[in-house]
Chain A
Amino acid sequence: MSIKTPLFLASALAIAAGTSAWADGHATTLTIATVNNGDMIRMQGLTDDFTEKTGHKVEWVTLEENVLRQRVTTDITTKGGAFDIMTIGMYETPIWGANGWLVPLDDLSAEYNVDDLLPAMRAGLSYEGTLYAAPFYGESSMIMYRTDLMEKAGMEMPDAPTWQFIREAAAAMTDRDNEINGICLRGKAGWGEGGAFITVTANSFGARWFDEDWNAQFDQPEWKEALEFYVGMMEESGPPGYATNGFNENLSLFQQGKCGMWIDATVAASFVTNPNDSTVADKVGFALAPNSEGVEKKSNWLWAWALGIPAGTQKEAAAKEFIEWATSTDYIELVAANEGWANVPPGARTSLYENDNYKDVPFAKMTLDSILAADPTDPTVKPVPYVGIQFVAIPEFAGIATEVSQEFSAAYAGQQSIDEALAKAQALTNDAMEAAGYR
């Protein structure tokens, strides 16, 4: 064997190794933290499409909502660098954006068409006009109800009912012997769970978290009225143990046919009408979230689950590619092709609501109407110094509201009176606000 053969083989090996190293360097593995909601689970199933298109791989860290918030907040404040993309919401994005903790998404490609994002979503995910997270789906809250049970009760759901009507209808639908509860609502402690729901309910009774000088308002009659109404209605017509129920628990109850009505995120509509998961898929109607008689504000919120990139990640370019893929119109069409138009992530893009295919989806219009009816800059009857409907957009809110919602959950469970819960909420909120320098 001449010397040329080994030399040739060695060169070929070197080139092969070099090419493989380049390929490894080019193909990136992204670590993405996300919430265990159905749309995100669906996205995980479609990740191969992204990998095929870009060569980048994806590792998912899927967590329950409360846990996700703590994990990503800790990671970003300590600059832990565990994630390349984080699933965050309208509460975190402006605060983190202001701190310079997120990569600005001001250079997304022309095909992405950032102007197509619903204005409310885009505004809620921006800080000083710069987008810091792209909405994967947007939501408000609305009523989902069983048309068959409503008919059986001899009632008809108006498009925009009041709480008083809802209470009456819930009582009429309740059939405890057959495990049917007139209404299922959140009571689980946690600012984004029961805390979010009771806040919008209170808004619709004319209550607010703070006055214009950041004094807590739990000692005001509107809060008491809202809580008394809520506890009274749930005792009459709610499921057992509602004080520990959050979004997923109520979704499961509704899908099992155990709820006459459920007021929660608009995004749930696709899950309750999906015959693969829901036993009542063909018997669900929709209506706007209720308001109390004489109060103009409805109990609907505004939220987006969005994808943001923590500043300092080494994989910024690949992360942006993923965000463009996951929040694009192409992705929406991919889901539609695989699972039907009813299952596409809703509430993020204007074009979706102009799409003829989507107009036939039974909850499309009500979702859009609910989103458009929510205004985070004017969330309550009386004036407030904060932005946000089901939250107050200040860094201290998550800690305060979690404790407040714990006090409320204890009242729902009958462990303390409504007056006790409100007094404790008032004291702990004022203490925390004073310590934070607001008062």
Chain B
Amino acid sequence: MATQHSRSAARLMMAPAVILLLGWMLVPLTMTLWFSFRKYLPLRGGDQGWVGFENYVRFVSSSSFWPSVQTTLIIVGGVLLITVVFGVLLALLLDQPMWGQGIVRILVIAPFFVMPTVSALVWKNMFMDPNNGLFAHLWKFFGATPVEWLSQASLPSIVMIVSWQWLPFATLILLTAVQSLDSEQLEAAEMDGAKPVQRFGFIILPHLARAITIVVLIQTIFLLSIFAEIFVTTGGAFGTRTLTYLIFQRVLESQNIGLGSAGGIYAVILANIIAIFLMRIVGKNLDA
């Protein structure tokens, strides 16, 4: 049991790390908050003073705000749905004994190690290009007109690219969970006459609940700030402008730091609302 003395020593030793981490988060957050109340236009003479809540009102009343929130939620929801469903299926598949299992698993996991910008470029130029892309050639081979993926099916295309990147993560976590399932339980169910669908619904899926929760929580955190894939492929056009992308446009393209910072604060609030919502709905699975 720790003594009063050792506890003090532990606190003292942890203090630098805690201060550093707090500073790491608090300094940018405080600066964003500070700038969000100021008229700060670098191309127009810099910081021009206090404007109260003007930036907040302008950001939220802009015609781009609600569509960007909607786009963000569609992308996050779409990617979560695809990665969880296919992640479970792939995990079950990879759990089966097969020849070359190690190599197959590495190949499945590989996309996760590709940089988002690189994967977006590869998808854009090698697969989705309507003139020279692989999909265009496939479509033409079957006598169909090539799909203009990034302009006509822009949101599904982005969801597809991001899902491809995040599927390995989901698969990996879910595979670990599948492997921890007691095989005797499944055998017993089988002997009792449970069909495969029943075994999946009543044994495997409940067992995977915690892992799915982890996948959903972690992915949501990252997907809310998705940027590179949109920047490289559509540049925010064709209805793919997420909240993060809108903030980027306000700060970097319009060079309006105040307005963009107000957007940043809205993004923090939105992320927290979603996090609380998720914790309430799915987080209870983690209590057990």
Query: Which residues of A are interface residues toward B (Cβ below 8 A)?
Result: 66, 70, 73-74, 77-78, 95, 99, 179, 188-190, 239-241, 243-244, 253, 256, 258, 395-396, 398-400, 402-403, 405-406, 409-410, 412-415, 424, 427-428, 431-432, 435-436
Contacts and interface: CB of A to CB of B under 8 A. Distances in A.
Interface in B148-170: 148-152, 154
Nearest to A406: B237
B116 interface: no
A240 B131 contact: yes
Interface in B235-260: 235-239, 241, 249-250, 252-256
B183 interface: no
B129 interface: yes
B130 A240 contact: yes
B180 interface: no
A415 B238 contact: yes
A300 B103 CA distance: 56
A241 B130 contact: yes
Contact of B151 (A99, A253, A400, A409): A409
B239 A73 contact: no
A410 B237 contact: yes
A77 B152 contact: no
B62 interface: yes
Most chain B beta-carbon neighbours within 10 Å: one of A402, A414, A436:
A402
Contact of B239 (A70, A399, A415): A415
Contacts of A78: 42
B146 interface: yes
B96 interface: no
Given A66-B235, A244-B234, A406-B236, A395 B43 contact: yes
B63 interface: yes
Going nearest first, the 6 A-B pairs with the smallest beta carbon separation are: A399-B254, A77-B42, A413-B151, A395-B43, A241-B130, A189-B237
Nearest to A402: B253
Contacts of A241: 129-131, 148-151
B43 A99 contact: yes
Given A409-B238, A410-B237, A398 B63 contact: no
B121 to A, nearest CB: 10
Given A74-B252, A396-B254, A435-B58, 16 more contacts: A70-B252, A73-B255, A77-B42, A77-B43, A188-B235, A189-B236, A189-B237, A239-B130, A241-B150, A241-B151, A243-B238, A244-B150, A406-B241, A410-B239, A413-B151, A415-B152
B63 A258 contact: no
Nearest to B259: A435
A396 B237 CA distance: 19
B30 to A, nearest CB: 18
B137 to A, nearest CB: 11
Contact of B63 (A189, A395, A396, A424): A424
A240 B148 contact: yes
Interface centre among B234, B237, B250, B253 (most CB of A within 10 A): B237
Contacts of A406: 235-238, 241
Given A70-B252, A74-B252, A403-B249, A243 B42 contact: no
B44 interface: yes
Nearest to B44: A395
Contacts of B154: 413, 415
Contact of B131 (A77, A189, A258, A414): A258
Given A77-B42, A239-B131, A413-B148, A399 B256 contact: yes
Binding site secondary structure of chain B: loop
Q: Bin chain B's interface residue count.
A: 35 or more
Contact of B253 (A398, A413, A428): A398
A412 B238 CA distance: 10
Most buried by A among B63, B152, B241, B253: B253
B176 interface: no
Nearest to A413: B151
Contacts of A410: 237-239
6 contacts: A241-B150, A395-B41, A396-B254, A399-B256, A406-B235, A406-B237
Nearest to A187: B151
B252 A414 contact: no
Residue of A258, A395, A413 with highest tally of chain B CB at under 10 A: A413
Contacts of A412: 151
A405 B238 CA distance: 11
Contacts of A432: 254
A439 B175 CA distance: 60
A436 B43 CA distance: 11
- Between A74, A241, A414, the greatest number of chain B beta carbons within 10 A of the residue's beta carbon is seen for A241
Contacts of B255: 73, 77, 395, 398-399
A427 B43 contact: no
A405 B237 CA distance: 8
B230 to A, nearest CB: 11
A189 B239 CA distance: 12
B234 A399 contact: no
B179 interface: no
Given A244-B151, A412-B151, A189 B234 contact: yes
Nearest to A71: B252
